[in-house]
A and B are shown apart, each in its own frame.
Chain A
Amino acid sequence: MNHWIDILDVADIPKLGARVVRHGSTDIAVFRNAEDEIFALEDRCPHKGGPLSQGIVHGRKVTCPLHGWNIELVSGCAVAPDEGCAREFPIKVEGSRVWLDLEALAREAA
């Protein structure tokens, strides 16, 4: 059974930026870095819930706009010595389209 949904085009996300994808009540930040790698995290910083999608993207990290925590885009975890992780969602890129795993989303919601 296919759980993957087509959410947007790589070109819809600014390089070194992010877009917010809303699924039900969950906001997912979909990031694109300079190498066109795509990452998806829940749009909540593990520190105080800041919207990571609004942060500055650099390398494979994003800096939360509220208090400057650095979050690893691959794992969603804060860079040491800060501690905590944002939920990370499975994502895949086919051609120029970005797909998100719905089942993972449902599991997370459950």
Chain B
Amino acid sequence: MDMSTPATRASKMKLVMVGNGMAGVRTLEELLKHAPDLYDITVFGAEPHPNYNRILLSPVLAGEQTVDDIILNPIDWYAEHNIVLHMGKKVVKIDRTARKVIADDGTEADYDRLLLATGSNPFVLPIPGKDLPGVISFRDIADVDAMVRASSQYKHAVVIGGGLLGLEAANGLMKRGMEVSVVHIGEWLMERQLDEPAARLLQKSLEAKGMKFLLKKQTAELLAGSDGRVASIRFKDGSDAPADLVVMAVGIRPNSELAESCGIHCNRGIVVSDTLQTVTDPRIYSIGECASHRGIAYGLVAPLFEQAKVCANHLAHHGIGRYEGSVTSTKLKVTGIDLFSAGDYMGGEGTETILYSDPLGGVYKKLVIKDNKLVGGVMYGDTADGAWYFSLLRDGKDITELRDHLMFGQDHCGNLGHSGINKAAAMTDDMEVCGCNGVCKGDIVKAIREKGLFTLEDVRKHTKASSSCGSCTGLVEQILAFTAGGDYSAAPTKKSMCGCTDHTHEEVRAAIRERKYLSIPDVMQAMEWDTPNGCASCRPALNYYLISTWPGEAEDDPQSRFINERAHANIQKDGTYSVIPRMWGGQTTPSELKRIAIVAEKYNIPTVKVTGGQRIDLLGVKKEDLPNVWADLDMPSGHAYGKALRTVKTCVGSEWCRFGTQDSTQMGIDLEKVFFKMWAPHKVKLAVSGCPRNCAEVAIKDVGVIGVDSGWEIYVGGNGGIKTEVAQFLIKVKTTEEVLEYSGAFLQLYREEARYLDRTVHYLERVGLDYVKKKILDDADNRRALYDRLIFALSVEKDPWVERAHEGKLKHEFETVVA
């Protein structure tokens, strides 16, 4: 297979990978993305197949998919990337001094870096008869072939082991027409994922399908028949059962034999550091089921892909990223059975449990809570919210406020917006999942199957589903879980800003503050960005973090702003722009209206419309006309194009309204004038109502103020967009000054701590209202300091329309060159 010439291979470093499975090949894929030309790569795989999806062996056994369906990287893929592939060759020796590996057929390969991804071996019970024909494990394609062959000739199958793998094997064999008994030493099935009530429900529904169970049974020996093949199984209590096929599924052991033989430290796996390097030899890396990280050898694909990412990053010489362990979740891949388990599902001392049990309906749910955080759960019969619970668990979110509704799932926790149907399994292929991009369930399933997708990010890239507003993310994750198998790769524990860096938003912000970076190149260089100048995701975020942290000092980079914020108008689908001048508190004058009318006619502006925020929108303005339109309007920028203070919506209030208790219009004008020009992580909308009838709809605003007879009530974190959320009561105050200070302090807290593109609702969901109260209500000094910082930041901002209409700033932005 070696097609490369010595001349081209001489200069590059050599990377040898032992093991051709999912974790290893994923590492290569990540590495090729970062540094496609750094290494000459050689891969040894003991199996005579290219990399396939081991998770999907169960559906292959059950006859629901074929071997071809589950190939992830066909042989052509290796050739395309100039990877030398040795299939069916088992590496038997590593010579660490000469830095080479030797395979069983004598093939040798030199290495500069070695990646051990040897996976695991099935554990075989040390009992008499274990080597008889007809006794196998359930680990690879050869095992599946053996089971399929046996199912056509024999009748009685016994599966030893009532764990995840054993039950999947038993289900497959049953579907192939065999009579299957599952032998299990424990008191209930899947005791590493389920508590007893859930396991009993599972057992009952598997029994209804025809599966038999022999619980609390210990196998003593396997007995041969007259043909020499296994014929029966005998237990320690003296009983027997017929067995023409025995599948041992009692667990796996990390395959560390090769590593041990060359003196690499192993302890229930090849011991690796957070960089996935072996602790013995830094040239040798190990990932996957063979690697032992902080005492754990992971067996599910999600954590292994997280490892692959970190490992590739180090192999590519980026030298950043740490793998710090994973929380895992499990889903059984048996058609018709809904089961989900994650984290500490048993509970125990120091934990509380919320239970929902409906044995007749076949539904059981248990959530384990510790210190107001979800730490584990089991679900049986209704797993629609599994992905949501898992994300709460993984992110360590404070669930105090969700607690009352937690058991009933995400739909009952205030998300009244675009929730859609929340049962991926019940959806038909032609039902729409992603309303923004018109993607149906069938499209997603097809892409996952045909392109071998595992992660949410992959699905987004290939189908565009959940890549716009993101409200269908949970649904897409469910479809991924159902289609790709249970342990699809959930988002990593630590969410990096984008593909350009492994740092999180919080880490980057902290560095900007603590080390006082003032420009995007400074941040990228100091924090070792993977790309020369970032991407369209991280650059706008960095620009915001810089100018909000160091107002007046950090330079605003127009080239790192989305076009709307660079042109100070909203781009439309045909490339024209919309202009919305500011009208303080939604109040205007005859002379402003006249100017708007004149401008609309003079520049042939096709559409004039009133917006939801009580302003006037001029749509279809040509870019080159923008500065003149602004000059003729002679009104302040409405910032309707920006992640900034948009509008303060008001009702008429006490000046005219017979119910009004307070002058809400004036309050709106005051708020809008003080917070004018405020950039933020996302758009910010305010409203003021003059009485509790609430005509200005303050309950769905980032900051909403309601006038009552005795003063003003302030509400925060409301949202009327993708995620409908009712604002939460913060405090009641008396004076205009107080309304400004409390609102301003809340907005500044959000500006300083929210991730870019998070609305206040997302920020509040993350930190909790109690935290905000502590910072703003309990600590008056902090409140004033926050408010002062906001006022200072606003004092250095200028009206961008004035700068461009009258001062000629960034003229080139609006001029077309004619050639």
Contact = CB atoms under 8 A, between A and B. Distances in A.
Interface of A: 5, 7-8, 12-17, 19-23, 27-28, 30, 33-35, 48-51, 54-59, 61, 63, 65-68, 70, 81, 100
Given A50-B575, A51-B571, A58-B536, 15 more contacts: A5-B819, A7-B817, A16-B559, A19-B815, A20-B816, A20-B817, A21-B816, A22-B816, A22-B819, A28-B819, A56-B560, A58-B532, A59-B531, A65-B563, A65-B571
B818 A16 contact: no
A14 B531 contact: no
B819 A23 contact: yes
Interface residues of B, number: 30
Nearest to B534: A58
B267 interface: no
Given A7-B817, A22-B816, A81-B462, A55 B563 contact: yes
Interface string B545-562: 000000000000011101
Given A16-B533, A17-B559, A48-B573, A54 B567 contact: yes
Nearest to A12: B812
A54 B451 CA distance: 32
Contacts of A63: 535-536
B615 interface: no
Given A14-B559, A81-B462, A22 B818 contact: yes
A58 B812 contact: no
8 contacts: A8-B817, A14-B559, A19-B815, A20-B816, A50-B575, A57-B559, A63-B535, A66-B571
A66 B573 contact: yes
Given A63-B536, A65-B571, A81-B462, A58 B819 contact: no
A56 B536 contact: yes
B575 A51 contact: yes
B540 interface: yes
B539 interface: yes
B12 interface: no
B575 A22 contact: no
B200 to A, nearest CB: 45
Given A14-B812, A57-B559, A68 B817 contact: no
Given A7-B819, A54-B563, A81-B462, A14 B558 contact: yes
Contacts of A50: 575
Interface in B777-819: 812, 815-819
Contacts of B461: 81
Contacts of A19: 812, 815-817
B520 to A, nearest CB: 10
Contacts of A5: 819
B30 to A, nearest CB: 16
Contact of A12 (B562, B573, B817): B817
Q: In this complex, which of B451, B467, B566 has the most chain A Cβ atoms within 10 angstroms of its Cβ?
A: B566
A35 B559 CA distance: 15
Interface of B: 451, 461-462, 467-468, 531-536, 539-540, 558-560, 562-564, 566-567, 571, 573, 575, 812, 815-819
B819 A15 contact: no
B660 to A, nearest CB: 43
Contact of B559 (A15, A48, A49, A61): A15
A67 B535 CA distance: 14
A47 to B, nearest CB: 10
A64 to B, nearest CB: 9
A61 B533 CA distance: 10
Tell me which of B451, B535, B815 has the highest count of chain A C-beta atoms within 10 A of its own C-beta: B535
Contacts of A59: 531-533
A19 B815 CA distance: 8
B535 A58 contact: yes
Given A21-B816, A81-B461, A65 B559 contact: no
Contact of B533 (A7, A13, A34): A34
B811 to A, nearest CB: 11
B55 to A, nearest CB: 22
Nearest to A65: B563
A100 B817 contact: no
B819 A21 contact: yes
Contacts of A13: 812
A100 B571 contact: no
B531 to A, nearest CB: 6
A19 B810 CA distance: 12
Contacts of B558: 14, 17
Contacts of B532: 34-35, 58-59
Given A54-B571, A57-B559, A68 B819 contact: no
Nearest to A43: B575
A61 B575 CA distance: 20
A1 B309 CA distance: 54
B816 A68 contact: no
Nearest to A60: B532
A20 to B, nearest CB: 5
Contacts of A30: 817
Contacts of B563: 54-55, 65
A4 to B, nearest CB: 11
Nearest to A6: B819
A27 B817 CA distance: 10
Nearest to B464: A67
- The 5 A-B pairs of least Cβ separation, nearest first, read A63-B536, A54-B563, A16-B559, A56-B536, A65-B563
A61 B531 CA distance: 11
A90 to B, nearest CB: 14
Contacts of A23: 818-819
